[in-house]
Amino acid sequence: MVRFETTSRTQKAVLYASSTGHTSQGQKKVSAAVELDVRWEEGQSDALNDRGETIRIDATAVVDQDITIGSLMWLGAKDDLPSPVTDLKEVVSFSKIPNQKGTVFRRVVGLIRYSNSLPPIAS
């Protein structure tokens, strides 16, 4: 049987994972860019954030790994990144749903527009 969790991820996205570091001015840092296979869908909907509050999200993406809230994503291949990076989205929700046997997970992130420029990359 073909698994939806893997066959539906035909698009590329770039992930800047949230880092624990901050600059001396208190701005968050992110990890270096990593390309992922995703299923990205634009469109507003409601979701729960990590505090259980209902929020409005601008897009969702089905991903193949756990992603930390606060990470940034960009739709497209890593080789196509503009300089400076624009149209970033911030991860504000993450769900991980197992199949009936608990062997495969469907991971979905909720994204909102990120209006700031790309934060510094943690080294």
- Which residues partner with 90 through β-bridges? 72, 112
* pLDDT above 60 (res 6): no
The three-point CA angle 18-90-78 to 5° equals 75
| pLDDT score, position 2 | 41
Report domain extents, the chain.
4-113
The listed CATH number (1.10.3470, 1.20.120, 2.40.128, 2.40.10) that belongs to domain 4-113? 2.40.10
97-121 pLDDT, tens per residue? 888 888 888 899 999 999 878 888 8
Helices and strands in the chain: count of H runs, count of E runs: 1, 8
For the entire predicted model, the pTM comes to: 0.85
Q: Of 38, 44, 106, 104, which is closest to residue 73 (Cα–Cα)?
A: 38
